[in-house]
């Protein structure tokens, strides 16, 4: 992670939503070409499965789509999930991720 972004360049999930209101020209990581976000894991852990699904669909997804619209593939959005390797599963058949 340190090779991609220093700790000072990592944004909180709260900062991600603040950025989403007005995306900056230069992003904080990778020489202005990436936004690394920490805190998603804690948000998901704090919510029930139903509430997490609703939050992802109604709040997080629009932010991600807004990032894509703003940067048109010229920047990276990275959600840092420290324990994601052991907790996140990907189903090839449906292209779905499971927490």
Q: How far apart are the first and last CA of the chain?
A: 21
Residue 2 forms part of a structural domain: no
The whole-angstrom separation of Cα 36 and Cα 8 is: 10
Q: How many domains does the chain have?
A: 1
Residue 72 forms part of a structural domain: yes
pLDDT in tens, 39-72: 999 999 999 989 999 999 999 999 999 999 999 9
pLDDT recorded at residue 97 = 55
Residue 17 forms part of a structural domain: yes
User: What pTM does this model have?
Assistant: 0.83
Band (5; pLDDT cuts 50, 70, 90): confident
- Which H or E run contains 41? helix 40-46
Q: What is the DSSP string of 2-16?
A: TTT--GGGEEEHHHH
Q: Which domain holds residue 54?
A: 7-98
Residue 34 forms part of a structural domain: yes
């Amino acid at each position: 992670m340190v090779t991609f972004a220093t700790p000072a360049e990592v944004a909180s999930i709260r900062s991600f939503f603040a950025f989403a209101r007005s995306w900056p020209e230069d992003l904080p990581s990778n020489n202005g070409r990436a936004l690394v976000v920490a805190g998603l894991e804690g948000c998901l852990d704090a919510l029930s499965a139903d509430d997490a699904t609703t939050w992802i669909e109604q709040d997080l997804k629009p932010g991600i789509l807004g990032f894509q619209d703003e940067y048109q593939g010229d920047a990276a959005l990275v959600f840092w999930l420290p324990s994601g390797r052991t907790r996140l599963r990907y189903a090839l058949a449906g292209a779905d991720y499971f927490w």
